[in-house]
Amino acid sequence: MEEWISYELHPETPSEGMLLSERFKGRDLAPFYAQLKLRGDELGIVFKEHAILSNSRLALLASEYARDRGRHDVFHENMFQAYLSRAQDIGRPEVVGAVAAASGLGAEETLAAAGDGRYAPRLAEAAGEGRMLGLTGIPLFIVNDAYKITGAQPLEVFRDLLGRLA
């Protein structure tokens, strides 16, 4: 069964986002992006480098609105493309609104719902669930409620685990 939770990986990120060079001060992100590009190439996904670490809270709240409207999967895919393939700042209301519109939702209605507080308890619940699972990175795949694969891993990691379980 496939289930997506709206997990806020870096809730400490300022609302305006922050430079990745500040967030990961002293770290060379080139190897990370090289590995991400390799993983994307395996799956036909384009990953662009970012300068900004977006505050994802607004996007996650909007995704819960999309979930309630039966548009979560398309919203999630469109948000993924906006952030990872086009390197857009998903903390900006105009980006979230554009993704909502592209996903068959009203931009203004989505932003209003994301901003009125009704979905904050869901994010808090997901944060608790993430801590319980020991979530340290995304994506996190849990197989048979026992095996975890964290991050953009090579396809061989998945094949190996699934082969051992077969």
Burial class (CB in 10 A: 0-12, 13-18, 19+), 55: buried
Same domain, 114 and 90: yes
Cβ–Cβ < 8 Å for 161, 149: yes
The whole-number pLDDT of residue 108 equals 98
- Domain encompassing residue 114: 18-133
The whole-number pLDDT of residue 57 equals 96
Same domain, 150 and 122: no
Chain-centre distance of CA 119, in angstroms?
Answer: 17
Task: Work out the pLDDT band at 62, boundaries 50, 70, 90.
Answer: very high
Same domain, 97 and 165: no
Mean pLDDT (the chain, rounded): 90
pLDDT (tens digit, 9 = 90+) per residue, 143-166? 888 888 887 788 888 899 999 988
The whole-number pLDDT of residue 155 equals 84
Q: Is the pLDDT of residue 87 over 50?
A: yes
Please check whether residue 5 lies inside any domain of the structure. no
